[in-house]
Structure 1
Amino acid sequence: MSQVRRVVVDTDTGIDDAHTLLYLAGRPDAEIAGIASVFGNCVEEDAVRNIGYVTRLLGLDVPVARGAAEPLAGAARIARYVHGRDGLGDRGYDRPLPEVTGETGAELLVRLAHERPGELDLLALGPLTNLALALRLDPELFTKYRSVVLMGGSGPYADPGTLLMIDANVNNDPAAAEAVFSAPRNRLVMVGVNVTATTILDERAIAALHAADTPRARFASEILETYLDFYQNEWGRRIIPLHDPLAAGILLDPSLATAAVDGPVNVVGDGFLSRARLMRTADGLPPSFPYKPAPDTHVITAVDAPRFVAGFVEVLTR
C-alpha cells in the first residue's frame, strides 16, 4: 500500500462534497484528519450538519470546525438549485449539528498545520474563504502543508470559441481566491472546471452505485437525484461530472493528471463572473494584457478520466 495521506478537508458539503468524503474514507491510502465547513453549495449551517451526517454514516471521529458563512465581501451565493436546499438533495435526512471544536474553520486549518507541519495535505472543495482567513492568521500557512489541492479555477485560457462551466468556488469569493493564489506555498494544485467537467459518472456507473448493497453506495446513489435533475439540462442525459472527487483523486494519485502547467494564476472577472486563470493562452503564451505576478501554481490541464471514474466507482461500491 502506498503512503497514507492525512487530509484536512475544507468543504461546502453538497452532493459531490459528500461523495468526496465517502471516497476519501474508502481509500486505504487516505486518512481524514479534520474537516471545516464553509458556505457555498448550501448555507454554512447545512454544510456542517451534512459533515455530521456523513461522518456518522462512516463512523469517523475527526475534529470538525464551523467556518465562514459569507464571503470576505458581498453576499453569499447559495447553489440550492444544484444541491437542494439542504445540500444533500432534500432527502429528509436527520442531520443534527455535530460536535465541533469551538474554533473557527480558519483556526482549525492553522492549528492542525502547526501541530503536524509537513505531514498534512489540505483539500479545499468550496469557496476559499476559510483559507484566506487562515492566511490572515498565518501568512506562511501553505508552507506548513505538504500540499494544498483545490477544486476551483478554470485552467489556462481556452481555445477561442470554447465555453466552460462556471468556476463557482472562485466566483463565490473572488477576494479570498486572490489571497490564496498569491500566498507562499510548498505546492498549490489547481483542479479546475476545465478538467473536472471531463470526468463523467455515466448511466452505467450510476447503475453500479444503485446496485451495490452497502450503506456508502446507497447514500451516494440516493443523493444523486437532485444533482442529475440539474445536469440533465447540460447534456440531455442523467449524468454528472465528478468535480470535487477528482481533486481528491489527484491529491492521492498525481498520476491521474496526464498534463499540467506551472505558472502564475490570477483571478479575473468579466463584469458577471470571476474565474481563476493560469496566465497562459491555449497556445502556452502569456495573455495580451498585463497581469499580476504570483508564485507558481500547478495547474492540471488533462486527466485520465476513465481510470479515475472507474476507481471512484470501485471505492464506493467495495
Structure 2
Amino acid sequence: MTETRRIVVDTDTGIDDAHTLLYLAGRRDAEIVAVTSVFGNCVEEDAVRNIGYVNGLLGLDVPVARGAAEPLAGVARIAGYVHGKDGLGDLGYDRPLPEVTGESAAELLVRLAAEQPGELDLLALGPLTNLGEALRIDPDLLTRYRSVVLMGGSGPYAPPGTVLMVDANIANDPVAAAAVFAAPRAELVMVGVNVTGTTILHERAIAALRATDTPKARFAVAILDSYMDFYQNEWGRRIIPLHDPLAAGILLDRGFATAWADGPVNIMSDGFMSRARLMRTHDGLPPSFPYEPAPDTRVITAVDAPRFVADFVEVLTR
C-alpha cells in the first residue's frame, strides 16, 4: 500500500503553481494539509486570492496563511509578464480573499512542524522568504519536517557554453535562500531549472488536457495561454515547462529523478542575478574558488521527463 505524504505547500500562486495544486489533489498518495502565500509570480495578495480560488475549485478546506509581500532584502520582481498580472492569466476569475488563520505564513510553518514533527513534508514553490522568516523563529525548523523539497536552484555548474533558464525563485530572495541552504535539515531536495526546464508539457499532452471535459482540466487549459505566450518566444512552439509540478512529483515519487548529487549549495551572484548552485562542476569536481561550507542538499541532476509528463496528464485528466 502506498504511503500518503502530508504536505504543506508554500506558493507564489502562478500558473504552474495552480497546476501543482491540481496535481497534488489528484494524487492518491498526497494530502495537502495547509497552504501559505508568498510574492513572486504575482503580488502576495493575488497569490493568496489564487490559493482561495484553486482550493474552492478542488473543494479543499485547509488552513491558509498569508506570507511575505517582499524579500528579506531588496525589491520584489513580479513575473506578471509570464503569468499575467493576477497570476492566473488575467482571465477575470472571481477571486475573493479566502479565510486565513490570522498567523503569518512563517508562524504557521513553525507551528505545524512543532505540533507534528517528522510527519509533514514542506513543498516550497516560490521565493524562500517565508522559510527564511520561519528560520528566524526556529533555526531548527527544517529538521522538524520529514523533507523539504523546493523548486529553485540551478544544479551544479553547467558545462562551459551552456545557458540555463533564470533561477527566479532564488533571485527573488537570495538572502532567504542562503539561510535555507545553510540551515540544519532532515532532508532538503533542490529541484532546479536545470531539470525542470527539460520537463516539457508538449502539444500532444496539451491536446489531451483540452479533450477532457472536467472543471479541473478546463481550468488547467484555460490558464495555459499566458504561459505559452511567454515560452513560444523561447522555443517557437506553444509548449511549457512543468517547473513546480516536477518538484511535487519528485516529493511523491523519487523515481522521477534518475540522477542526483549531494553536497553544499551556495547562492552565487554575477552582479545581476543570483542562482543557487551545488558547489560542483558538471563533471563532479569542486569549483576553482573558495565557497561557504553548508550541510548536504540533494540536488536533482536528471529526471525521467516522459514518465513524469505522462503521470501529470493522467492525474489531471482522471
Q: TM-score range by the shorter chain?
A: over 0.9
Number of the residue aligned with 1:255: 255
Task: Kindly indicate whether residue 295 of structure 2 is the aligned counterpart of residue 295 of structure 1.
Answer: yes
Measured in 2, the distance between the counterparts of 1:221 and 1:15 equals 10
Number of the residue aligned with 1:78: 78
Number of the residue aligned with 1:8: 8
Q: Structure 2: which amino acid aligns with 1:110?
A: V
Measured in 2, the distance between the counterparts of 1:111 and 1:232 equals 42
Task: Kindly indicate whether residue 132 of structure 2 is the aligned counterpart of residue 132 of structure 1.
Answer: yes
Query: CA offset at residue 75 of structure 1?
Result: 1.1
Give structure 1 regions of 4+ aligned residues with deviation exceeding 2 angstroms. Answer: none
The 10-residue stretch of structure 1 (108-117 or 235-244) with the greater mean CA deviation from structure 2 = 108-117
Following superposition of structure 1 onto structure 2, how do residues 111-130 of structure 1 map, counting pairs within 5 Å? 111-130=111-130
User: Can you list the C-alpha shifts for 1:259-280, whole angstroms capped at 9, x where unaligned?
Assistant: 0000000000001110000000
Number of the residue aligned with 1:232: 232
Number of the residue aligned with 2:59: 59
Query: CA offset at residue 161 of structure 1?
Result: 0.2
Using the aligned pairs only, state the percent identity.
82
Number of the residue aligned with 1:101: 101
User: Can you list the C-alpha shifts for 1:176-196, whole angstroms capped at 9, x where unaligned?
Assistant: 000000000000000000000
TM-score by length of 2: 1.00
Measured in 2, the distance between the counterparts of 1:33 and 1:119 equals 11
Q: When the two structures are aligned, how many residues end up with a matched partner?
A: 318
**Structure 1: gaps of 5 or more residues:** none
Number of the residue aligned with 1:18: 18
What's the secondary structure of 1:17's corresponding residue?
A: helix
TM-score by length of 1: 1.00
What's the secondary structure of 1:61's corresponding residue?
A: coil
Measured in 1, the distance between the counterparts of 2:77 and 2:25 equals 29
Number of the residue aligned with 2:207: 207
What's the secondary structure of 1:165's corresponding residue?
A: coil
Measured in 2, the distance between the counterparts of 1:115 and 1:63 equals 14
Query: CA offset at residue 160 of structure 1?
Result: 0.2
Q: Structure 1: which amino acid aligns with 2:34?
A: G
Number of the residue aligned with 1:266: 266
Measured in 2, the distance between the counterparts of 1:75 and 1:158 equals 28
Measured in 1, the distance between the counterparts of 2:294 and 2:224 equals 38
What's the secondary structure of 2:255's corresponding residue?
A: helix
Query: CA offset at residue 127 of structure 1?
Result: 0.1
**Structure 2: gaps of 5 or more residues:** none
What's the secondary structure of 1:301's corresponding residue?
A: strand
Measured in 2, the distance between the counterparts of 1:199 and 1:212 equals 22
What's the secondary structure of 2:101's corresponding residue?
A: coil
Number of the residue aligned with 1:280: 280
Query: CA offset at residue 74 of structure 1?
Result: 1.1
Measured in 2, the distance between the counterparts of 1:317 and 1:215 equals 10
Following superposition of structure 1 onto structure 2, how do residues 181-220 of structure 1 map, counting pairs within 5 Å? 181-220=181-220
RMSD of aligned alpha carbons: 0.4
Measured in 2, the distance between the counterparts of 1:126 and 1:30 equals 20
User: Can you list the C-alpha shifts for 1:40-61, whole angstroms capped at 9, x where unaligned?
Assistant: 0000000000000000000000
Query: CA offset at residue 283 of structure 1?
Result: 1.0
